[in-house]
C-alpha cells in the first residue's frame, strides 16, 4: 500500500516551475541556454490531478562535445548536459536521491527518483531520446492501469510494447533484433491507434 502523503497542485506547480527554470532558464529567448530539447511534466500533473504524491518530469537532454578531463591529449567526448544539471541540483541541495524500500537509491540512466529537499515532494526524473520521446511520454503520463491495458492489447495482436524504446516489436523480438518489423511511435495518438483504442487526452486517462 502506498501511504505517501499527497501534495496540493499548487505546491507541485511551484516545484515544477523551479525545476523547469533550471532546465530551460530563458524559454522566451529562442532557448539558447536550454539544457534540454524537450521537457514537460507528466504523471498526475499532466493528467490534471488536484493532488499528487509526486512530481514526474520527462526530458530529452541536449548532447554536446566537451573536453574529456581523463584524456591527456584533450580529446572531446559527447555528453548529455542535462545530466550535468541534475548532478548540480544534487550538489546544491535542491534535490536529493530518494531511497527505496530497501534504503537504496533508485538512480539509473532512464529513471532517477529524487526528493525536493525544501518541500519533501518526491520528484521522478525520466530521461528520453528524440527517438523514444513520444513512447516515453505516453508511458510516464500513465496511469499504470492504462499502460497495462495497452501492453495486453499489443500482445493479443502479436506485438511487444518496448516502453524504453521507441515503440512496438513482434513478440519474441527486441528493438535491436527486429529493425524491419519494429514500429516507432511518433505521437501519443499512434499508440492508441496501434492497439485500436480511441484517443484519450491526458486528463481523461483513468
3-state class (DSSP) for residue 202? helix
Q: What is the pLDDT of residues 121-171, one digit of tens each?
A: 999 999 999 999 999 999 999 999 999 999 999 999 999 999 999 999 999
Q: For 172, phi and psi rounded to 5 degrees?
A: 90, -10
d(CA 60, CA 125) in angstroms, rounded, equals: 11
**CATH code for position 31:** 3.30.460.10
124 in the same domain as 145: no
In 3D space, the residue among 186, 191, 205, 188 whose CA is nearest the CA of residue 150 turns out to be 191
User: CA of 99: how far to CAs of 19, 74, 163, in Å?
Assistant: 20, 37, 24
Question: Taking the model in full, what pTM does it have?
Answer: 0.88
Q: What is the pLDDT of residues 74-103, one digit of tens each?
A: 666 567 778 888 999 999 999 999 988 888
146 in the same domain as 110: no
Residue 159 bridge partners (DSSP): 170
Average pLDDT over residues 175-193: 96
118 in the same domain as 48: yes
Residue 184 bridge partners (DSSP): 167
Number of residues written out for the chain: 206
Q: For 58, phi and psi rounded to 5 degrees?
A: -110, 135
Q: Which of 128, 155, 184 is the last residue of a domain?
A: 128
Domain count across the chain: 2
> Alpha carbon 101 to chain centroid distance?
22
Q: Which of 128, 145, 169 is the last residue of a domain?
A: 128
CB of 136 within 8 A of CB of 144?
no
141 in the same domain as 116: no
Q: Which of 128, 163, 194 is the last residue of a domain?
A: 128
Task: Identify the domain containing residue 187 by its residue range.
Answer: 136-204
Residue 182: inside a domain: yes
Please confirm whether the linkage preceding 143 is cis (ω < 30° from 0): yes
d(CA 112, CA 122) in angstroms, rounded, equals: 11
The H-assigned helical ranges of the chain are 9-23, 43-46, 81-91, 133-141, 144-156, 188-194
Of 17-21, 61-65, 132-136, 137-141, the least confident = 61-65
Question: What is the sign, positive or negative, of the torsion defined by CA atoms of 171, 173, 176, 179?
Answer: negative
Amino acid at each position: 500500500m502506498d501511504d505517501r502523503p499527497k501534495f496540493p497542485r499548487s505546491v507541485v506547480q511551484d516545484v515544477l516551475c523551479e525545476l523547469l527554470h533550471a532546465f530551460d532558464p530563458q524559454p522566451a529567448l529562442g532557448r539558447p541556454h536550454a539544457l534540454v530539447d524537450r521537457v514537460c511534466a507528466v504523471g498526475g500533473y499532466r493528467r490534471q490531478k488536484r493532488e499528487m504524491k509526486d512530481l514526474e518530469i520527462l526530458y530529452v537532454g541536449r548532447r554536446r562535445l566537451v573536453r574529456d578531463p581523463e584524456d591527456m591529449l584533450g580529446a572531446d567526448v559527447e555528453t548529455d548536459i542535462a545530466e550535468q544539471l541534475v548532478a548540480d541540483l544534487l550538489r546544491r541541495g535542491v534535490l536529493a536521491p530518494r531511497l527505496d524500500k530497501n534504503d537504496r537509491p533508485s538512480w539509473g540512466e532512464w529513471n532517477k527518483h529524487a526528493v525536493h529537499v525544501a518541500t519533501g515532494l518526491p520528484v521522478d526524473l525520466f530521461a528520453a531520446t528524440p527517438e523514444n520521446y513520444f513512447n516515453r511520454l505516453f508511458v510516464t503520463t500513465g496511469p499504470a492501469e492504462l499502460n497495462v491495458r495497452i501492453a495486453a492489447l499489443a500482445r493479443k495482436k502479436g506485438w511487444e510494447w518496448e516502453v524504453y524504446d521507441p515503440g512496438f516489436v513482434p513478440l519474441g523480438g527486441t528493438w535491436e533484433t527486429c529493425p524491419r518489423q519494429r514500429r516507432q511511435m511518433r505521437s501519443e495518438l499512434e499508440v492508441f491507434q496501434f492497439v485500436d483504442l480511441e484517443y484519450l487526452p491526458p486528463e481523461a486517462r483513468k
